[in-house]
Amino acid sequence: MTEYKRKYDRVFNSISRLDLQKGALGLEELGIEDLFASEPELWLGFYTKEGLETAFKKYGFIEDFKEQGFEEVDFELIFNDSEEHMLRFWGKKPECPDVPLIELVVRRGHIKPSGALAARLKREFLNVLDVEWLQMQNPLAHFDASRPPLPGQNFPGLGLGKQVMELLRQACKRLQLDGLVTTPSYFHNALFYSEEFYFFDPEVQGLFLALCRDILPQSRNVGFASWALNWKMVAQMNPDGEPEPFAWFHESQVCPVSNELEKYFKSELYARDSLQALSTHQFKVLVTNLRETLENKGLAPFDHTKLGWVTQP
């Protein structure tokens, strides 16, 4: 995400709080009924829809949709839950009324430091932006040999993942949060995030690095490695016993925003613990089973006539 990080950091300083809260009622505009009404619905308690639209334009995000073939898009904010806020982008030209291009659910949350981090920070909680759900897809695109389906996909990806994650990091800066947190549903998600994210637990970070070291070369590419884990076709090697099936895990991955959290992930202690965990794990892909299943599913060699198992709403 580095190329967008530099660009967005420059834009960040050109956007004011007034820009981001356009359309919100000022005190002088409030009537007597407004004083006793519930708070207006601000996304994450801060952004108006008009303010978000201003930000998306200034960051160049609307232009990014055009590069993916969508000349016009619209978005909606949904506040069904007081803590979890949803944002959906829809294609308007060309029109995609049934499938959102982006569906995002976020909430302000906390993570509780322990061990070395707790000792260093002397804080009971870290304030974070928690990504509860994120789906990006292009319903007008089609899977092919160069872009077969990945676990969890109903349609090919939208190609805007780096921009979306950087926009969320900018929101953390704006809201003065310590970091951005996500729990990757699949291995390929975690690998994509790993350019800027670290697993909060250094032992889990080491385990993840061991997976990258071992299963990527054996699986031939990221997608096949992700399928291998999804189908439980990865074995963890035990020096004192039989290999055991290993499935993908669900642990918090964190993009540090505050200097305190950044220093923790860059510390010698975090590196030592993660490298120690890396050295204790070894994995093997059940290559024969994986190849047979990839062929039966139409993934390798690619055969679109076999993709009926890919659910499309």
The residue among 264, 142, 293 whose CA lies nearest residue 199 is 264
pLDDT in tens, 288-313: 999 999 999 999 999 999 999 987 54
Full DSSP string of the chain? -HHHHHHHHHHHTT--HHHHTTTPPPGGG--HHHHTSPPP--BTTTB-HHHHHHHHHHTTHHHHHHHTT-SEEEEEEE-SSSS-EEEEEEEEETEESSS-SEEEEEEEEEE---HHHHHHH--S-EEEEEEEEEEE--TT---BTTBPPPTT-SS---S-HHHHHHHHHHHHHHTT-SEEEE--SSHHHHHHHTTT-EESSHHHHHHHHHHHHHHHHHHSSHHHHHHHHHTT-EEE--TTS--EE-------EEEE-SHHHHHHHTSHHHHHHHHHHHHH--EEE-HHHHHHHHHHTTBTTB-GGGGGGS---
Mean pLDDT of the chain: 91
Tell me what pLDDT residue 34 has: 46
Tell me what pLDDT residue 312 has: 54
**Tokens 């302000």 identify what position?**
108
In the chain, % of residues over pLDDT 70: 93
Preceding omega of 94 cis (within 30 degrees of 0): yes
Calculate mean pLDDT across residues 129-148. Answer: 96
Distance CA 2, CA 35 (A): 44
Rg of the chain over Cα atoms, rounded to whole angstroms, equals: 22
The region of weakest confidence among 30-39, 144-153, 220-229, 241-250 is: 30-39
Strands 95-96, 126-136: pairing kind: unpaired
Calculate mean pLDDT across residues 167-176. Answer: 97
pLDDT in tens, 123-136: 788 999 999 999 99
Using pLDDT thresholds of 50, 70 and 90, give the confidence band for residue 26.
low
State the pTM of this model: 0.91
Distance CA 26, CA 138 (A): 39
Residue 111: pLDDT over 80: yes
Q: Which domains does the chain have, with CATH numbers?
A: 2-206+250-268 (3.40.630)
pLDDT in tens, 33-81: 544 444 458 999 999 999 999 999 999 999 999 999 999 999 999 998 8
Output the six-digit token pair for 84.
């979890």
Preceding omega of 301 cis (within 30 degrees of 0): yes
**Tokens 């050109």 identify what position?**
14
**Tokens 């039989």 identify what position?**
242
Residue 3: pLDDT over 90: no
Strands 234-236, 198-199: pairing kind: unpaired
255 - beta bridge partners?
180
How many of the other CB atoms lie within 10 Å of CB of 133? 13
